[in-house]
Amino acid sequence: MNALDDYLVAPEISLLDKVRIQAQVLVPVLRALRAEFGQDKVDAVAREALRDWSRQIFAAAGAAIEGSPRRKWAALQGALNEATESEVSFELHRHDKEALEFDVTRCRIAEFFRALGEPELGALLVCATDFDIVAASGDAVSLERAQTIMNGGPCCTFRYKFGPP
């Protein structure tokens, strides 16, 4: 059993294929609602709903993992890394007891959502989850990310800092 089974639903389907399925439903609905009620209002409601959904899933997944807050983060992060490894290329800069720093240099998920013209939806469905996973650690792990490919950056900058064990 994977720590992210509730989020990933069907582990045999790639994460890219899952977000394609989600987008196949969400994009036409969002576009119809935007046409009817206005983009700003609809996007604000969608943003809130998707953020709440993600926070709940990762809080529940973290709560189900035995061990320290750092162990919870490691289990969730490891499961996400496993799910995304075929979709991204990255450069590792640092990995020690105090920090993990890397840049994602290519992301097929970002390419997909940018091609759809819906990078904010992609950021909500995929990118924001990194912060929800960090939240499962309490204060044991922090994340700074200055940019993402999804939002137009040349890479995604991941800068994790680890608190005392």
Number of domains in the chain: 1
| Residues 91-125 as b or e (16 or more Cβ within 10 Å = b) | eeeeeeeeebbbbbeebbbbebbbeeebbbbbbbb
**pLDDT, tens digit (0-9, with 9 covering 90-100), for 32-54:** 999 999 999 999 999 999 999 98
Alpha-carbon dihedral sign for residues 138, 143, 149, 153: positive
pLDDT at site 36: 97
Q: What is the mean pLDDT of the chain?
A: 90
pLDDT at site 157: 98
**pLDDT, tens digit (0-9, with 9 covering 90-100), for 17-35:** 988 998 999 999 999 999 9
What single DSSP character describes residue 78?
H
CA distance 85 to 26: 25
Measure Cα distances from 79 to 3, 29, 35, 58 in Å.
6, 30, 38, 12
pLDDT at site 6: 58
* CATH number of residue 11's parent domain: 3.30.1380
Torsion-angle region of residue 77: left (phi > 0), alpha (psi -120 to 50) or beta? Answer: alpha
**pLDDT, tens digit (0-9, with 9 covering 90-100), for 81-105:** 888 889 999 999 999 999 999 999 9
- Are 140 and 69 in contact, with CB atoms under 8 Å apart? yes
Q: What is the pTM of this model?
A: 0.86
Structure token digits, residue 110: 């970002």
CA distance 162 to 43: 34
Q: What is the extent of the structural domain holding 132?
A: 5-162
